[in-house]
Chain A
Amino acid sequence: MIDSAVNRDRLHLTMGANMSDRVINMIMLGPSRVGKSSLLATMYRAIGKMKTGFDLTPVDDTQDRLDDAYYNLNRVMEQQVFAPVEDLLKGTMDFIEHRFEVGFHGAKEFDLVFHDFRGGAMMRAGPDLAALREKVARSHVIFNVLDAVALMEVDAVQGDFLNGHDRVCQLLNKTLQAGENYLIVFVLVKCETYVKTASSRERLINRFEERHGAVLRLIEKLNEQNKNVAALLIPAITLGCVEFKEIDQDGNFVFERTRKDFEPREVDQPLRYALHFVLKRFDESRSVWDRLYRWWYGLDKAFLADLSKFAAHRKPDYKKYGGPHLL
């Protein structure tokens, strides 16, 4: 159960009188060093190329931070053999908000906030965990970032430590609410080695479902009761030119550059699914007067047409869980 303050906050955010004041929250969930910030940086880069009436504009210093993260990622990758252990979030902050304005044909529709945090917070009891829980409770889209190497190369105990399967399950169990719709996007990163062939991809998905089974069962259960949770699994190839080599004596995952070119693939897909979900929810939640105004000026149809165009760029063949009607 979430506390009443969080409930009030959620109502305010979703039911604000002035639509442009609205904020939609998303959160990047995953343990330390799993690659949440890297994912966000590469997702933003990839989504930036979308050719629709919608705009996603970073505000404040979001652009700078994401550029730094992206730069650091590339720098690490310049080595032949590397272990991406450096935290991409600078400073001592545990939580950070990456804020974007979402507009349609030049007019701002709402603010989109990505809540990012040091992964350690998820795994430790105390104030950080409480804060995290509060942020999860505010979010309608949850990116659960999972390390594919940790899924495939280490045992279940170590895997749980690295991917926080149990902790994610506990967090979601305590925060997801009936009456609210959610999208959970499981993003598998560092998965280049495991998605080369159909059979290796299948092994990867099987291992995900095995290790993350408790979360999936929770989704199925909530969906049976409230039909309000959709989820999908996206293996995101953030680099495309690396190959997992081994785990070194210190437990670091060691990667090697291959002769392939740097070519991220499907990195835009998590954000594309997420934006589509929130845009649709946002559109459905407009007030009567707003609907009437938009109908009068023909904006409603244009919005839906562009939303449909935006949706068409989503790849359909991801493994889905929960309620497909929400996607």
Chain B
Amino acid sequence: MSNLRHFIERVLVKRQAQKPKLEAVQQDLRDLGQQLEHLRGLAAETSTSNDAPPDLRQRTAALAAGITSLESQVNDGIARTANLLARFAKNTINIGVAGKARQGKSTILQAISGLDNRVIPTSDGLPCTGAKSRILHRTDDPHAEVEYYKTEEFVREIVHAYYEELKLPNLPATLDEFERSLPPKPNFEKPEEHAVYEKLKDLHAGLGAYRPYLSRQSQRITLDEVRDYVSQEDGRKRYLAVRCANIHVPFPNGDVSGLAIVDLPGLGEIAKGHSEKLVTSLQREVDAIVLVKLPSDTGDDWFAADIKVFNEVKKAVPELDLSDWLFVVLNVKQDGSNARQVEILKGRPLHIGSSPRLLAVNCLQAETVRQGVFMEVLRHLEENLERIDKRQTSVLAAYLTNLAGEAAALVQPVWDYFQQDTAGTGDFQKFGELFRSFRMRLRTNLDELTDEYRQLVRNKGMAKEFGAAVDEACDAAKTSVPVPPPDDLKGRFHDLGGWKAAVTEELHHLRSHLTHCLADILDRRLGQMVEEVRRKIMARLMADPLGRVLPQELREEVDPRRQLEAFRQLLDKDGQPTLHAGVSYLLSFSFSYQSHFHHRVREAMDPLDPMAIREEGEDDPVIAIAPREDTAQCVEEVGRGLRSFYERVVWSVRQRLHQEMENDPMRAIFSMVEETRDRLVRAREVERQWEWLLYPCRAEIWPDEFNRFAVASARRQEWQSGIEAVRRYAGKLRSASA
């Protein structure tokens, strides 16, 4: 026992390690539940649909019938997982102590915890402890923390429990409603129902006393105050608002950190809500139960009430044998008057298929209790708790495996039906015919367009258009010669200290102005030319029927880029890489003055570049323009020289663009058309990519042809995806259980 603390730590660590897995299982079960719900709706729709084949209707009806049962198993699985999760998530190992009034439960609790009557009241009459309390080992700072019910929680768990047990009308939704009036007492058939109703009346009458405590934050109190919060003696009502009192005290049996003793009220009590909470405690909170029974000295037996308690424990956690976790303490009276009865009970078989451990002790003898009960339970836990945990885990795993198998089996017939692809066969044949026709038309369309542009290249078709753009740009440059007026030019002369510097600066301005004019106008015109070709490509690409894949508002869109962008969004980059790349290429194609022409005409601008390296014989513009006499009076001559150089350069640039580059836009545009054609219809594998793209949207593209297939196809798709999800979750559950 010296390693008790280490043992507790080890068990807790192992339990914590199971948490993520259990949480994942819980989520999978929830998702499975949702999918089953979805399939139920689908099955209801399909099984009553006239256009569904009879075989399918039959199979889906059978599936719908099976779903109800499976759903209840899923819910059960969720509850089981939640219980185990709660059990494994605890940070203590808990021993529950239960017993009817006057059996010695409080005495045992006192003996184990070392607490006295001030904290754990004992009574000779009615049940003394009204609220659940948990006693934890702590060597310093003895105190208690009181947790209260939230108001709505109280209404739901306590008030409703009475109403439901008594089948009372007008279930109150709020505490105010409950407070306003209590339904009159009906004519109960069972005698105990009268007693329960009386308890409800007490609950109603005492509301003013405990109501202020509902929904309060946890409260720290001294040990002396505990009794006021958990006891129902002397007409105390506050305990009704208490969900649990956690009492921290040093146990007399050494360091048992990580161990808690839970006082479980409610066993055999009339008060409603308590027995439900007891079951929950058994399932989630308690690792061992100590049930105290004081045999009567006038003769006793295992009565029906005892058997009922054992059955409740068994039912709460059916996978465990009672001997695994239930200890029945037969309380031997101080005077030994019931010793004979204790012996008799110990030897009498229970006939319940499973036997709890029976311990006979005199509860008033604290040391005897500690040795004969507490240490006995601890020893048992040390030897068996890990095995018990494993047992619970494996039982859940088996349950989940079975559940997964049933889920898979349930959907299999419908899955088989759709695997035969009866709905898709005719559909695909039709698609094949239409697709071949589409592909041929698209190819012809793009081939024609490519040929059209090939002819244009041959006939220098667009040269005139670009030539006009060049003339426009050069005319604009020439019209706006940025040579400053004479006075300004004189100013430059004075500022810069001579004509050479002034001319140098002006030449840079002139060159920059010319480049700007050219870029501005040519880029606009080139952009228009490219846009026009894009429009033509899109007109051929998006001609019916493919255009129907675009959103309605984009079908008549004037801007081809928007159409292209929308079409690209329909493409899967991984699934249709060539198509995606082709559309991206077409979308991003650009042709600008700066990127294609400027570097080629730049040399012609050298006369406007004072820094240019010149050949022998070539005029240096600064020397040619700056007058020999460096005086301001020569301003006209300088202006004339600048203008003259500028105009000559404009001419040279114009000539070079006309003579050497006039056909370049045409060639570039032809290459764009051809490349687009190649990528969209000529590239390897692209045909398959078109097929993958069009098949899912065939009903939109060829509505007349696929209307009759559309419903079946949509149904098939929905069923397949629903069943696939169920199979997927079933697989996950099976894996988690392995």
Contact = CB atoms under 8 A, between A and B. Distances in A.
Nearest to B627: A259
Interface string A215-257: 0000000000000000000000000000111110000000010
Given A245-B647, A245-B648, A246-B648, A258 B615 contact: no
Nearest to B474: A246
B353 interface: no
Given A153-B655, A258-B624, A243 B648 contact: yes
A241 to B, nearest CB: 12
A197 B618 contact: yes
Interface string B641-675: 10010011011000100110000000000000000
B416 interface: no
A78 to B, nearest CB: 16
A196 B651 contact: no
A247 B647 CA distance: 11
A247 B617 CA distance: 24
A316 B492 CA distance: 49
Nearest to A80: B640
Contacts of A197: 615-618
A151 to B, nearest CB: 12
| Most central of B641, B648, B650 by chain A CB within 10 Å | B648
A155 B659 contact: yes
Contacts of A245: 644, 647-648, 651
A74 B624 CA distance: 23
A127 to B, nearest CB: 38
A256 B651 CA distance: 13
A245 B658 CA distance: 16
Contacts of B658: 155
Contacts of A196: 615, 617-619
Contacts of B651: 245-247
B470 to A, nearest CB: 14
Chain B interface size, under 10 / 10 to 19 / 20 to 34 / 35 or more: 10 to 19
Given A153-B655, A245-B644, A246-B648, A259 B624 contact: yes
A218 B165 CA distance: 124
Contacts of B641: 259
A196 B659 CA distance: 21
A153 B616 CA distance: 23
A198 B651 CA distance: 21
A228 to B, nearest CB: 37
A176 B279 CA distance: 128
A199 B618 CA distance: 10
B616 A256 contact: no
A200 B604 CA distance: 12
A316 B581 CA distance: 62
Contact of A199 (B615, B650, B655): B615
B617 A246 contact: no
A80 B643 CA distance: 13
Interface residues of A, number: 16
Contacts of B659: 155
Contacts of A247: 651
Contacts, number: 35
Contacts of A153: 655
Nearest to B644: A256
B237 to A, nearest CB: 111
A327 to B, nearest CB: 27
B160 to A, nearest CB: 99
Contacts of B640: 80
Contacts of B616: 197-198
Nearest to A245: B648
Interface in A64-107: 80
B591 to A, nearest CB: 23
A322 B648 CA distance: 37
A256 B647 CA distance: 11
Interface in A163-213: 196-200
A200 B618 CA distance: 9
A153 B651 CA distance: 9
A198 B617 CA distance: 8
Nearest to A156: B659
B463 to A, nearest CB: 11
A246 B475 CA distance: 12
Contacts of B644: 243, 245, 256
A243 B640 CA distance: 14
Interface string A141-167: 000000000000101000000000000
A44 to B, nearest CB: 28
Contacts of B647: 245-246
A312 to B, nearest CB: 26
Nearest to A196: B617
Given A155-B659, A245-B647, A198 B624 contact: no
| Most central of B617, B640, B658 by chain A CB within 10 Å | B617
Contacts of A243: 644, 648
A261 B648 CA distance: 20
Interface in B596-628: 615-619, 624
A199 B617 CA distance: 10
Contacts of B619: 196
Contacts of A155: 658-659
Interface string B481-493: 0000000000000
A259 B648 CA distance: 15
A190 B648 CA distance: 16
Contacts of B617: 196-198
A252 to B, nearest CB: 13
A196 B651 CA distance: 18
A258 B616 CA distance: 18
Nearest to B651: A246
A129 B658 CA distance: 34
B624 to A, nearest CB: 7
Interface string A252-286: 00001011000000000000000000000000000
A17 B619 CA distance: 57
Given A153-B655, A259-B624, A198 B615 contact: yes
Nearest to B618: A197
A258 B651 CA distance: 17
Contacts of B618: 196-197, 200
Interface in B458-494: none
B462 to A, nearest CB: 16
Nearest to A199: B615
Nearest to B662: A155
A155 B641 CA distance: 28
B476 to A, nearest CB: 15
A196 B647 CA distance: 19
A258 to B, nearest CB: 7
A246 B643 CA distance: 13
A80 B134 CA distance: 114
A259 B616 CA distance: 18
A196 B616 CA distance: 8
A197 B616 CA distance: 6
Contacts of A258: 624
Contacts of B615: 196-200
Nearest to B650: A246
A256 B659 CA distance: 23
A197 B614 CA distance: 9
A243 B644 CA distance: 10
B627 to A, nearest CB: 8
Interface string B54-70: 00000000000000000
A197 B624 CA distance: 16
A196 B619 CA distance: 8
8 contacts: A196-B619, A197-B617, A198-B616, A198-B617, A244-B648, A246-B648, A256-B644, A259-B624
Given A155-B659, A196-B617, A243-B648, 19 more contacts: A153-B655, A196-B615, A197-B615, A197-B618, A198-B615, A198-B616, A199-B615, A200-B618, A243-B644, A244-B648, A245-B647, A245-B648, A246-B647, A246-B648, A256-B644, A256-B648, A258-B624, A259-B624, A259-B641
8 smallest CB-CB distances across A and B, nearest first, come from A197-B615, A246-B651, A197-B617, A196-B617, A197-B618, A245-B648, A256-B644, A196-B618
